[in-house]
Copies of this chain bind each other. A is one copy, B any other.
Amino acid sequence: MRRKLIVVSNRGPVSYGRGSDGSRTAKRGGGGLVTALRSLVQYHDVTWIASAITEEDRALAGEAVDETSRDGSPYRLRLVAHDRQAYDWYYNVVANPMLWFVQHSLWDLPYTPRVDAAFHHAWAEGYVAVNESFAATVDAELARTPDAAVFFHDYHLYLAPRMVRERRPDAALMHFVHVPWPQPDYWRVLPREARRAIHDGLMANDVVGLHTERWRRNFIYSVRELLGDDATAKTVTAPISVDSTEFVELARSEAVLSAEQEILTGRPEKLVVRVDRTDPSKNIVRGFRAFELYLDAHPDMHRRVGMLALLDPSRQEIPEYAEYLGAIQREARRVNDRFQQSGWRPIELEIADDFPKSVAAYKQFDVLLVNAIFDGMNLVAKEAPIVNERDGVVVLSENAGAHAELGEWALTVNPFDVDGQAAAIERALAMETGERHERLEAIRAHVREHDLSRWTDVLLAALDRVAAPTRS
């Protein structure tokens, strides 16, 4: 059944620029969220509301643009041009690092954060203001199509649902949280007004979706502790997924095959791969330390095993991220300085946004290390097995959302236990082919069956159960 949907996310699926000949160019974004939401465009009548990022985006803001998705599906795009200073406060002070760090439990509480006048100001003049400008745009779209359901995304937009609800008591509103939900004591890092406004904003939705039962339980618990409300009836668990077919095709593409040649040239017998953004939540530094412990215990594997770390530099305008990249580089160098020999460097570190190379590494891993401190889902753990050609083993953090689905076929690690991670790498590298093959096939079968259309179906069905009828 085709629906009218208003999708609202901070980043849109496309961003505009100007070519050298002065004509408008469109750059289609990647990233898990945008890929996932593309699946909505395919089956529904979507108006997508997102922030204007570039100058050309800003020039187009205010009017709806008719766009087409990668597969040719049409949708309307409506870009919102926020005040530039407000956007900086909203994005670089409140959403990142504050909310991201709260939701992934990353603060060093004896020292950080210092919630000061600058934060209070960024909250009021940035986060509240940008949410308000999103809400006004949603309201305008609802004036045009009152029977559309609104589908908000992620931690940038926690306040907008309440703002829309106040104007439109009968609108069908849904929110999906793509990040972990921490337990209420960690929300108390935020001042009382902010943490209450976040929970209250989400509770203005008819449906709140989270990836796993664990995050859902945490959400229900924190709504009860912080607001005294019961969120049970409006929450739903819907683990996001990936487009298997797309990855199978990608794996055969020229770009990936060429990147794969680079990896094959001089690859060691065994390859441990990690693919991440350089985000403190990804636990890259401890991963290197765990690999060092493995090398320490296995001199026979020197020259025969290597770690390939493909890391996309992330949010480098934010000091905590710049510092974390420094720590990553220091730790890799320390381990390499200790073990490297002519012709063998234990850790190959590549700091670049190189998606084809990531997919090539997915094909080539013997061990995939996903040791995230906390992770809403972690799509690498779903993507990489689909295309892997070596019966590779997934080592998976118990704090990644993907663990709820894939844990039984992965080797589970505690993200803080570097000794346990070294032991898991050892076990994975020593595992018999038969067992490796079975585990990998089980992951693949799960991901193929629990695909993106199941994710959207679960969410839209939940909306049908609780919201006013919104079918077109």
**Best-buried of A115, A283, A399, A418 by chain B (most CB within 10 Å):** A115
Chain B residues whose CB sits within 8 angstroms of the CB of A107 once the complex forms = 108
**Shortest Cβ gap from A129 to chain B (Å):** 19
**Shortest Cβ gap from A228 to chain B (Å):** 14
On whether A221 and B218 interact (CB within 8 A), knowing A106-B109, A115-B419, A183-B183, the answer reads no
The residue in chain B whose Cβ has the minimal distance to the Cβ of A189 is B416
Residue contact B113 to A416, C-beta cutoff 8 Å: yes
**Shortest Cβ gap from A34 to chain B (Å):** 26
The residue in chain B whose Cβ has the minimal distance to the Cβ of A104 is B109
Complex Cα distance, B106 from A434, in Å, reads 44
The residue in chain B whose Cβ has the minimal distance to the Cβ of A417 is B115
Chain B residues whose CB sits within 8 angstroms of the CB of A183 once the complex forms = 183-186
Q: Which of A285-293, A332-340, A347-355 contacts B (4 or more CB under 8 A)?
A: A285-293
**Chain A residues near B (Cβ < 8 Å):** 105-111, 113-117, 119-120, 182-186, 188-192, 218, 221, 280-281, 283, 285-286, 289, 293, 324, 327, 373, 398-399, 414, 416-420
On whether A110 and B285 interact (CB within 8 A), knowing A293-B116, A414-B192, the answer reads yes
Query: Copy number of this protein in the oligomer?
Result: 2
Residue contact A105 to B116, C-beta cutoff 8 Å: no
**Shortest Cβ gap from A325 to chain B (Å):** 12
Residue contact B110 to A281, C-beta cutoff 8 Å: yes
Residue contact B218 to A420, C-beta cutoff 8 Å: no
Complex Cα distance, B112 from A106, in Å, reads 10
Complex Cα distance, B110 from A283, in Å, reads 6
Chain B residues whose CB sits within 8 angstroms of the CB of A190 once the complex forms = 414, 416
Residue contact B416 to A111, C-beta cutoff 8 Å: no
Complex Cα distance, B218 from A239, in Å, reads 27
Residue contact B281 to A120, C-beta cutoff 8 Å: no
Complex Cα distance, B281 from A398, in Å, reads 27
Instruction: Identify which of B280, B285, B416 contacts A115 (C-beta below 8 A).
Output: B416
Residue contact A398 to B285, C-beta cutoff 8 Å: no
**Shortest Cβ gap from A179 to chain B (Å):** 14
**Best-buried of A185, A186, A420 by chain B (most CB within 10 Å):** A185
**Shortest Cβ gap from A405 to chain B (Å):** 18
Chain B residues whose CB sits within 8 angstroms of the CB of A111 once the complex forms = 108, 285, 327
Contacts A/B (CB < 8 Å), 30 sampled: A105-B109, A105-B185, A105-B186, A106-B109, A107-B108, A108-B108, A110-B285, A110-B324, A111-B285, A114-B286, A114-B289, A114-B416, A114-B418, A115-B414, A115-B416, A115-B417, A115-B419, A115-B420, A116-B293, A116-B417, A117-B293, A117-B419, A183-B185, A183-B186, A185-B218, A188-B398, A189-B416, A190-B416, A191-B414, A192-B398
Chain B residues whose CB sits within 8 angstroms of the CB of A327 once the complex forms = 111
**Shortest Cβ gap from A398 to chain B (Å):** 7
User: Can you add 4 more A-B contacts, CB < 8 Å, to A109-B416, A115-B417, A192-B398?
Assistant: A110-B283, A115-B416, A117-B293, A190-B416
Complex Cα distance, B373 from A418, in Å, reads 27
Chain B residues whose CB sits within 8 angstroms of the CB of A280 once the complex forms = 110
Residue contact B192 to A116, C-beta cutoff 8 Å: no
The residue in chain B whose Cβ has the minimal distance to the Cβ of A279 is B110
Q: Which 4 A-B pairs have the closest CB atoms?
A: A108-B108, A110-B280, A183-B183, A115-B417
Complex Cα distance, B117 from A242, in Å, reads 37
The residue in chain B whose Cβ has the minimal distance to the Cβ of A184 is B183
Chain B residues whose CB sits within 8 angstroms of the CB of A192 once the complex forms = 398, 414
Complex Cα distance, B181 from A110, in Å, reads 17
The residue in chain B whose Cβ has the minimal distance to the Cβ of A399 is B188
Chain B residues whose CB sits within 8 angstroms of the CB of A398 once the complex forms = 188, 192
Complex Cα distance, B60 from A280, in Å, reads 51
Complex Cα distance, B189 from A189, in Å, reads 18
